[in-house]
Amino acid sequence: MTDRELQQKSVQLRKKLLKYIYQAKAGHTGGSLSCIDILNVLYNRVLNIDPDDFKNPDRDRYIQSKGHSVEALFVTLADRGFFPESDLETLCQYQSHYIGHPTKKVRGVEQNTGALGHGLPICVGESLAAKMDHKSHRIFTLLGDGELPEGSNWEAMLIAAHYKLDNLYAILDYNKQQITGSNQEVMNTEPIKDKVEAFGWSVKEVDGHDLKALEDVLNNGPFAEGKPNFIIAHTIKGKGISYMEGVLKWHHGVPNEELYAQAQKELDDLELAL
Ligand SMILES: [Mg+2]
């Protein structure tokens, strides 16, 4: 896949996640749009995974701690061929496994997540197990900045550094907002870089919408031997849709027919311009 095709895919994935959220009349719109570029790069440029051999023990692991942005994960997994995209027509319907949080009943999903602060602790266990088994695969997680204050994250960070888990990559989708306001207002976590470094991790910052920059940072670890890797990915909630960017109500807002049409038009125009 060329770099241009990867950029086009980011736009196409945005269109798809909006389509299924619009149809289901439910979803975490803003957060899915902020992390979709990260998922696109992970699944198409970084993770060593094979949809036809998903249970291969040597595969890289990706566990989405910010499980509520599951629509981004579902469209990415469908695009990689883990299941037919038509399955997503059932999103949030009675008896569908395609619900508002990741579940292992969906092919390609490594862990049930969505209760906040669980992904990183699970990844610490996965990373430690890989080290004990002398395996070389990597473990990735995506954290929301709204879930970062959860105590379990900081406990996990302490343990990851103690066991020198340099095969672990925690990516922060740093869109600076959460459900009830800005991080600054709800629970200030800054200075994040200083805090995480003080816990014994190696930290890099990146533009979370710059596909090339994401690929470079995610494929060039460990950043320091013996240290777990933390990536602060600066993102924009609602990225790609003019009226959603940075606007809190789109945390789980669903566009009406008119606004949905506008969003798709904006993405069509963006794709044509690439
Ligand atoms: Mg956030």
Q: How many CB atoms lie within 10 A of CB 169?
A: 26
Query: What is the chain's alpha carbon radius of gyration, rounded to the nearest angstrom?
Result: 18
248 alpha carbon to ligand 1 midpoint, in Å? 10
Q: How far apart are CA 118 and CA 71, in angstroms?
A: 19
74 alpha carbon to ligand 1 midpoint, in Å? 19
Assign domain 3-273 to its CATH superfamily. Answer: Thiamin diphosphate (ThDP)-binding fold, Pyr/PP domains (3.40.50.970)
268 alpha carbon to ligand 1 midpoint, in Å? 26
52 alpha carbon to ligand 1 midpoint, in Å? 33
Span 207-249, pLDDT tens digits:
999 999 999 999 999 999 999 999 999 999 999 999 999 999 9
Percent of the chain with pLDDT over 90: 100
- pLDDT for res 222: 98
182 alpha carbon to ligand 1 midpoint, in Å? 8
Give the position of tokens 């719109």: 29
119 alpha carbon to ligand 1 midpoint, in Å? 15
132 alpha carbon to ligand 1 midpoint, in Å? 34
Q: How far apart are CA 232 and CA 218, in angstroms?
A: 11
Give the position of tokens 């059932």: 90
DSSP string, 156-198: HHHHHHHTT-TTEEEEEEE-SEETTEEHHHH----SHHHHHHH
170 alpha carbon to ligand 1 midpoint, in Å? 15
35 alpha carbon to ligand 1 midpoint, in Å? 10
Q: 93, exposed or middle or buried, with CB in 10 Å at 0-12, 13-18, 19+?
A: exposed
Residue spans per domain, the chain: 3-273
27 alpha carbon to ligand 1 midpoint, in Å? 15
- pLDDT for res 126: 98
Helices (H), the chain: 3-24, 29-41, 70-79, 119-132, 151-162, 183-186, 192-198, 211-218, 257-273
- pLDDT for res 169: 98
Span 152-163, pLDDT tens digits:
999 999 999 999
102 alpha carbon to ligand 1 midpoint, in Å? 18
* Helix, strand or coil, per DSSP, at residue 87: helix
> For residue 61, is it left (φ>0), alpha (ψ between -120 and 50) or beta?
beta
31 alpha carbon to ligand 1 midpoint, in Å? 7
What is the mean predicted confidence (pLDDT) over 194-202?
A: 98
Which residues lie at CB < 5 A from ion ligand 1? 144-146, 175, 177-178
- pLDDT for res 217: 98
**Dihedral angle, C-alpha 112, 104, 111, 1, nearest 10 °:** -120
What is the mean predicted confidence (pLDDT) over 118-142?
A: 98
Question: Residue 142 pairs with which residues in a beta bridge?
Answer: 64, 171
Task: List C-alpha distances in Å: 82 to 32, 140, 239.
Answer: 19, 18, 26
Among 263, 271, 272, 245, CA closest to 22: 263
- pLDDT for res 85: 98
